[in-house]
Amino acid sequence: MTERITVSEGRSWLRLALIRTSVVIAALACACSPAPPSQQPAGNDNADRVHSSARHDFRVTTVADGLDHPWSMAWLPGGEMLIVERPGRLRVVRDGALQPDPVAGLPAVYREQGQGGFMDVLPHPDFARNRWLYLSYGKPNDDGSEGATAVVRGRWEGDRVTDVEEIFEADAWGDNNNHFAGRMAFGLDGYLYVAVGDRMVTPNALADHPALDLSNHMGSIVRLHDDGSVPSDNPFVGRDDALPEVWSYGHRNIQGLAVDPLTGDVWSNEHGPRGGDELNLIVAGANYGWPVVSHGINYDGTVFTNETERPGLESSRFVWTPSIGVSGMVVYRGDAFPWWRGSAFVGGMVGQQLARVTLEGRDAVSLETLLEGELGRIRDVREGPDGLVYLALEHAEELTAVVRLEPVPNDIEPLFNTFSIVAIDPSTGESGVAVTTRNPCVGNAVPWVRAGVGAVATQGGTRVEYGNDLLDLLEQGVAPQEAMDRVVAADEGRERRQVGVIGADGRSAQWTGSGQYGAEEQGDWVAERTGLHYAVQGNSLVGTAVVDSVAVVFERSEGSGRHLADRLIESLRAGQLLGGDGRHGETQSAAVLVADPRPGMSRRPDGVTADINVCEHPEPVGELRRIYAVASETLGFRRLEQFVGRDVFQLKVMLHALGYFGPASPSPSVDSPGVLVYDQETVEAVDRFRADQGWRTTVPGYVDARTIERLWSLLEEGGRAEEVRDRIRDVVRVRR
């Protein structure tokens, strides 16, 4: 492997971009009206049709039809499938057939229409032994004038539920029929998580909104024992101004709640108003800020807040604007679709789509849209015990179906994709290129930069002369589009080329010749995307989803204060995860090249600050990231045990800001004597920090990825993160 040098990642500051008593009921009225007759589901009239995605091909087949607003799904150990219908019915699919009669013994609902009916069904983790089944629903008050989210549980007896008892009633009463939420999930810790909506209180209330008031359950996720009692370690236990059930708050209307079965992380999604649907990682005690922060506006077009984030408030990991009307979700870990493992699948109702969000650790890094406009509104998404993906379809006045995605045999084929991004950072004047391909040493020919001028990617049918020719014209003051027109017109082989160029002012131009268009069976399309400060291009084998993902990730890092090379590598990684070169373990390459016109930022006369060329590697984009981190000595590139380096300075600054290192002294300066040494004082500060987190280790001063993640999390909660980033930003810049 051949490699040049680079810069590095501090922490993934970007979080994409591309967010409540126990009463036994002696007798409960049954709201089980007769089930409507069956009819064919909308949008599934061709079961043999093969649908394509970046990683898998699949068919959509019907599991059960003739359903009245199916809202949720679950499976029992014996193989039976349960389907909740909003008007107040629980249906059973047994031996592949939808049983005609609903399950008896369940409570009456607040409303059969709107959102106040049956909402979620969930078997106990130890269901095979205790037979407990949990149901969330819109509960009416005594005269039916108001409703609130409630949870009951009962013993499953095959065609009825007995011993029904209420284990939770939300303090979230209202006379409307909206924003009940009601999603439930059992964590790997055995606790029950329940989402409660904000009951559609106007966001114009801002800081006075009940979702920000811990004395009620509106806009919260609550955490309970399986009998509804409150765990003693809930974050607000013992506070007079807070309800003890609350686990997180500042939510609007959560529609999806899922636990990653591998990591135990709890994820949710929630409706924005007009714009700003959110995907959130749920953190104990965190405030998610609704409606003080939001990416949306009122339904009437008026603005209620201009803030999308604020120190001390938990930020979303992904945002959809415009809204897709997010619904049920699952973190997929099955075997039927191996390339999809670790992805979050989110239903879209208004968007009539299935969104696949690639998760890497605790970050959302790419987005693929599936089945857009094909099936209609998707109300719920689940992974079945067979590893298949199940969807509940729900339309306004039609009977609908539950369907599932089934892989087409032998569909996983190698993908040989080339894609690149050219970009600038207007705040620093940097210009750069990042590219990956199936061929060796892509950095030898494709990326071109000139400090203060712009960047070029000559990726398709590469003609190296394009690099300097385009940059020469830009330096002469020619606009990017005119420059592109000139060099393309002079090239007899132009139909084989794909080129992107961006000037220092952010204007860009792209060319894709007819020889680079999509394959005939895909129709003619050009994989190009442009934004204010970037242009992304992909060859004929790159699906538009890959290019979209690169663009979304780069856009969402705008204004983050991170180095351009860091942002470019992250964007390239998003495309690689979604549909990059599938020949893992074989020869591939990737490169990043960045120049900075500011004096003193580079040790090279051409102003280049980051230049990595991974010539041959089974995971070239991952290798870009590794080299970048090591060269910059950004905290996290190694485990610390009595070393010397710039990462030690970063650690001291972070510990000082949290009061663990030299609390009576000024914050460390990079010029201070011994500041780069991992001395005993620093070791003891780390040990105190880890002890306060309840962590133990046999290695004094042990710093691992969890330690760094927790440091950043506490800095963000305390509103000190931006200050610390400013202190360490220039330290991690490599001037090569």
Q: Does the residue 701 lie in any domain?
A: yes
Tell whether 574 and 425 lie within a shared domain.
Answer: yes
Specify the pLDDT at position 735.
Answer: 53
What is the spatial distance between Cα 415 and Cα 55, in angstroms, rounded to a whole number?
9
| Burial classification of residue 460, based on how many CB atoms lie within 10 Å of its CB (0-12 exposed, 13-18 middle, 19 or more buried) | buried
Domain identity same for 514 and 437: yes
* Segment (H or E) for 620: helix 620-632
Nearest Cα residue to 617 out of 175, 3, 95: 3
Examine the domain organization and report whether 575 and 724 are in the same domain: no
Distance of CA 125 to the CA centre of its chain: 26
Domain that holds residue 718: 646-732
For 496, residues 6+ apart whose C-beta sits below 8 A from its C-beta are 460, 461, 513, 515, 516
Residue recorded with tokens 């041959």: 616
What is the DSSP-derived secondary structure letter of residue 340?
G
Could you tell me the two tokens for 306?
């201009």
Q: Is residue 380 part of a domain?
A: yes
CA distance 141 to 169: 11
Kindly state whether residue 545 falls inside one of the protein's structural domains. Answer: yes
**Can you tell me the distance from the alpha carbon of 655 to that of 667, in angstroms, rounded to the nearest whole number?**
10
Q: Is residue 313 part of a domain?
A: no
Helix or strand run (H / E) with residue 162: strand 161-169
- The pLDDT value recorded for residue 374 is 93
- Residue by residue, DSSP assigns 529-541 as EEETTEEEEE-TT
CB 651 within 8 A of CB 635: yes
Q: Name which residue leads in pLDDT, 450 or 730.
A: 450
Identify the weakest region by mean pLDDT among 442-456, 513-527, 693-707. 513-527
Give the strands of the sheet with 400-407, arranged side by side.
51-52, 57-67, 400-407, 389-393, 378-383
Taking each helix axis from N to C terminus, what angle separates 465-475 and 480-489, rounded to the nearest 10 degrees? 140
pLDDT at 29 over 50: no
In a domain, 386, yes or no: yes
- Cβ atoms of 565 and 533 closer than 8 Å: no
Q: Is the pLDDT reported for residue 614 higher than 50?
A: yes
Q: Is the pTM value of this prediction over 0.75?
A: no
Q: Are residues 452 and 566 in the same domain?
A: yes
Cα–Cα distance for residue pair 683/246, rounded to 1 Å: 36
Q: Label residue 567 by pLDDT band (50, 70, 90).
A: very high
Q: Domain with 481 in it: what CATH number?
A: 3.60.20.10
CA distances from 334 to 220, 344, 406, 409 (A): 30, 12, 12, 16
pLDDT band at 523 (very low <50, low <70, confident <90, very high): very low
Q: Pick the catalytic residue: 179, 209, 271, 563?
A: 179
Domain end, chosen from 582, 609, 632, is at 632
Percent of the chain residues past pLDDT 70, beyond the cut: 87
pLDDT per residue as tens digits for the range 641-696: 556 788 889 999 999 999 999 988 888 988 888 888 888 899 899 999 988 988 86
pLDDT of 167 over the 60 cut = yes
The DSSP code sequence of 631-678 is: HHT-TTSS-BSS-BSHHHHHHHHHHHHTTSS-TTSPPP-TTSTTTTB-
pLDDT band at 587, cuts 50/70/90? low
pLDDT band at 81 (very low <50, low <70, confident <90, very high): very high
Residue 138 forms part of a structural domain: no
Residues 604 and 524 in one domain: yes
What is the band of 443 on the pLDDT scale with cuts at 50, 70, 90? confident
Which of 640, 443, 608 has its CA nearest to residue 6? 608
Cα distance between residue 589 and residue 440, in whole Å: 5
The two structure tokens encoding residue 606: 């051409």
CA gyration radius for the chain?
A: 27
606 contact partners, CB below 8 Å, separation of at least 6: 450, 451, 595
What strands lie across the sheet with 220-224, from one edge to the other? 181-186, 192-196, 220-224, 246-249
Would you say residue 11 has pLDDT above 50?
no
**Do 619 and 526 have their domain in common?**
yes
Q: Is 50 exceeded by the pLDDT of residue 4?
A: no
CB atoms inside a 10 Å sphere around CB 600: 7
Q: How many CB atoms lie within 10 A of CB 33?
A: 13
Query: Are 690 and 707 within 8 A, CB to CB?
Result: yes
For 413-470, the three-class secondary structure string (H helix, E strand, C coil) is: CCCCCCEEEEEEECCCCEEEEEEEECCCCHHHCCEEEECCCEEEEEEECCCCHHHHHH
Whether residue 376 lies inside any domain: the answer is yes
Residues 705 and 570 in one domain: no
How far is it, in rounded angstroms, from Cα 325 to Cα 276?
10
Last residue of a domain, one of 603, 632, 661: 632
**Could you tell me if 549 and 428 lie in one domain?**
yes
d(CA 654, CA 209): 34
465 and 562 in a single domain? The answer is yes
pLDDT-derived band at 400 (thresholds 50, 70, 90) equals very high
Confidence of residue 293 (pLDDT cuts 50, 70, 90): very high
Instruction: Examine the pLDDT at 130 and tell me if it is beyond 90.
Output: yes
CA distance 316 to 453: 35
pLDDT at 170: 97
Beta bridge partners of 424: 431
Q: Are residues 576 and 463 in the same domain?
A: yes
Domain boundary pick from 606, 632, 658: 632
**Is there a contact between 259 and 331 (Cβ–Cβ < 8 Å)?**
yes
- Residue 51 known to be catalytic: no
Over range 400-416, report the average pLDDT: 72
Inform me whether the pLDDT recorded for 45 exceeds 70.
no
Together in a domain, 477 and 398: no
What is the average pLDDT score of the chain? 85
Which percentage of the chain shows pLDDT scores above 90? 56
Instruction: Please report which confidence band the pLDDT of residue 21 belongs to, taking 50, 70 and 90 as the band edges.
Output: very low
**H or E, element range at 224:** strand 220-224
The residue with tokens 């011993």 is 163
Query: How buried is 64 (Cβ within 10 angstroms: 0-12 exposed, 13-18 middle, 19+ buried)?
Result: buried
The pair of three-digit structure tokens given for residue 304, joined into one six-digit string: 């209620």
Paired tokens of 98:
């939808």
pLDDT at residue 113, rounded to an integer? 76
Torsion angle (degrees, nearest 10) of CA 564, 567, 571, 572: 60
Largest CA distance in the chain: 86
Confidence tier at 579 by pLDDT (50, 70, 90): low
Answer yes or no: do 679 and 593 share one domain: no
Q: Is the pLDDT of residue 72 over 50?
A: yes
Q: From 653, 655, 634, 650, select the one nearest 714 (Cα to Cα).
A: 655
Q: Bridge-partner residues for 120, per DSSP?
A: 136
Distance CA 672, CA 120 (A): 59
pLDDT grade, residue 62 (50/70/90)?
A: very high
> Which residues fall within 8 angstroms of residue 284, CB to CB, at 6 or more apart?
234, 235, 247, 248
In a domain, residue 714? The reply is yes
- How many structural domains does the chain have? 3
Q: Tell me, what's the pLDDT at 527?
A: 75
Query: What does the buried/exposed string (b/e) look like for 115-128 if buried means 16 or more CB atoms within 10 Å of the residue's CB?
Result: bbbbbbbbbbeebe
